[in-house]
Structures are given as C-alpha cells and as structure tokens.
Homo-oligomer: A and B are copies of this chain.
C-alpha cells in the first residue's frame, strides 16, 4: 500500500488533458492556450467549447453552440415555483446546489451512461452540457429577483452569455466595458486543474451518476469557505480598511499577528497568479475610463496590493484571482453573497469537461483507508455498560 498523504497532496488522481498550471512561471493554460490569450481574444462561449471539445471551434460551430445556449436559458415554471418555496435568507450556493440537483428529475434518462459501451454518447453529453451551462446562469440571476420577492427578468436572445447574465441579474442592459469584464471573469474562473470541487466531479462522475447530480456535488464542494468565497472576504476586508491611507497599517498589523490577507497567495503559484494580472489590467482600464466616478474600494485595493507586494513578494506571495474580482462584481451591482455563485457558473464549464473526460476512461473511485480504530471487541449489553 502506498504512503498516506493527507488531502492526497501530490498524489495523482487522474490523467487529464484539459488544463495545466506551471506554478513556477505563473502559467495557466486551457487545452494548451494561455489564459492571457483567451482573456484577450476569446469569449466565454468559445472558451467553454474549447474546454469541452479540446480544440478551438470554427465560426459555424461556435455560432451553433451560442444558439444552443440561448435556446436553453429558460427555466420551467415548476423550477421557479420550487425556488419560491426556498427561504430568501439561505445562501445562494445552497440554492444553486438545490436547483441544479432538481433538474436531474426532469432528465432522468441517463441510461446511455449505465452502459459502458455507450458511455461516450457524445450527443447526450453535449446536449446535457449545454442545458446545464445555460441553466446555471439563469438560476443565479433569477434567484436574485425571487429572493427579493420580485418576478424574474426574462432572458434576451440578442445578448451574449455574459451580457445576458448581467441583464437578467440586474434588469438593466449592462455597461459594455463591465460586460466585457464579466466575460473575462467567466473565462478566468472556468477551469483550474484538480481542485477540491473538480475532484468532487471526478468522484461522483465515476459512479455514473447523472451530470446534474455531479455538478450539484461540485457546487457543494465549492461552497466550502476553504475553497470558494475568498473574493467575498476581500471585499469585506477592503471595506474594513476604508481608505487607501489606512492600507499600510492594516496590512502590517495583520502580518504581525500572522493573520491572513485575503486575496493574497495561492498554493499553486510561486509567482503572481496570471489571472490576477489580467484582472488588474481590467481594473486599471475601468478606472481610467470612469475617471473619479468609481467606488473608493478600487483605490483601497490598489494601495493594499502595493503594500503586500513590498512585504510579501519576496516570499512568493502575490495577489490571486480573488483579489480584484469582488470589487468588479460589486461595481456590476452584484451583492457579495452571490460572488461564489458566479464562480460556480463559470467553473461548471470545467466540471463538465472533466465529467466528459472521466466517462471516456472511467474507473470508480475507491481508495483505501488506514484503519486506526478499535480491534474486534465483544458487544456489551446496555445494562453492563
């Protein structure tokens, strides 16, 4: 038996050709394409198709895929009726897990997965992927209205995935720059090798469970505060700091007390998270465009990063992707408790790519344990305990 390594750290759990990280050089690539190039030249829709199919689509393929996503944006009124029976105060990640799991009940026939010979039924896999990808954004956006007691906003067929998501979420046609930033945020969060939620995908997929229940499981893993949710913490931290002048004192005090600076450092990167660099560029562009008319938190964030760079860069600790996404989402009118659901919407693409890959070469996950408990002992009746 191999050595026991807590959290399976360093233990290969799968062979995968979806994404790769070079933590020394700060490179993240999807299917071989660097995240910087995708952020600059691709769209979320194209990136999703790249992750799923392993290659960049032709214009025809991409347009067809976009149309399929548009065609699958509606939710059944049964689903909305169910959502209206959920408590408005519940966390949106729990809501998302619930509703995605329920979708499986409308799509019970995944019998093509039962049969090993047709496990690669690509039509089933593609169509289900489209449905889930389109639905998750609608669920998150509609929930924002339903939990506040209002009717949802219907999807607009003329808008892209990112634009339509913001439109359905806020009820207003989005600012083009913010919509572009949302598109990039969705690209940046779509995939990141075998983190805990993607590992949950593999484990659940390996039992041939339905893709709805697989994605629901992964949403559950992402909802854990050790996994998703750091960008919400960053925003709270920035608000606590309040003004740029207070950044230095705050950071130094936290470091002296060995407390975490939210949004700094990532176990996979020894240098700056490439996604953070991309977001920082977009933040600068946004600030330049808006001039003075912006949330003061942007200036606080820049001040915090400057101090952190000075104090922590030598230790290989830099801003990560969570550092800037929160203030950007906030600027789009998204409340902090919905930040992780947006992460989930985007990461659903990666999860479904891994689901498909797992089915292609499946073996059920059944690791062993190191038993540390009692040896066999006699049962003692209750009157003798």
- A residues contacting B by CB (< 8 A) are 1-20, 27, 29, 31-34, 37-38, 41-42, 54, 56-59, 62, 78-79, 81-82, 85-87, 89-91, 93-95, 97-99, 101-102, 104-106, 108, 113-114, 193-197, 199-200, 203-204, 206-210, 212-214, 216-217, 219-227, 267, 361, 363-383, 385
Contact = CB atoms under 8 A, between A and B. Distances in A.
A213 B94 contact: yes
Contacts of A16: 369-373
A374 B31 contact: yes
A382 B201 CA distance: 31
A58 B361 CA distance: 49
A15 B225 contact: no
B106 A9 contact: no
Contact of A78 (B59, B85, B93, B102): B85
Nearest to A34: B376
A101 B94 contact: yes
Contact of A226 (B37, B97, B364, B370): B364
Given A41-B381, A97-B101, A227-B207, A193 B31 contact: no
Copies in the complex: 2
19 contacts: A2-B3, A2-B10, A6-B361, A7-B364, A9-B367, A29-B376, A33-B379, A78-B86, A81-B85, A87-B106, A90-B105, A101-B101, A101-B216, A196-B207, A197-B207, A208-B225, A209-B220, A209-B224, A217-B217
A195 B350 CA distance: 25
B59 A382 contact: yes
A365 B217 CA distance: 14
A222 B203 contact: no
B12 A2 contact: yes
A10 B368 contact: yes
B58 A382 contact: yes
A217 B38 CA distance: 32
A369 B193 contact: yes
A219 B367 CA distance: 18
Contact of A102 (B17, B94, B370): B94
Given A31-B374, A194-B369, A372-B17, A105 B95 contact: yes
A208 B226 contact: yes
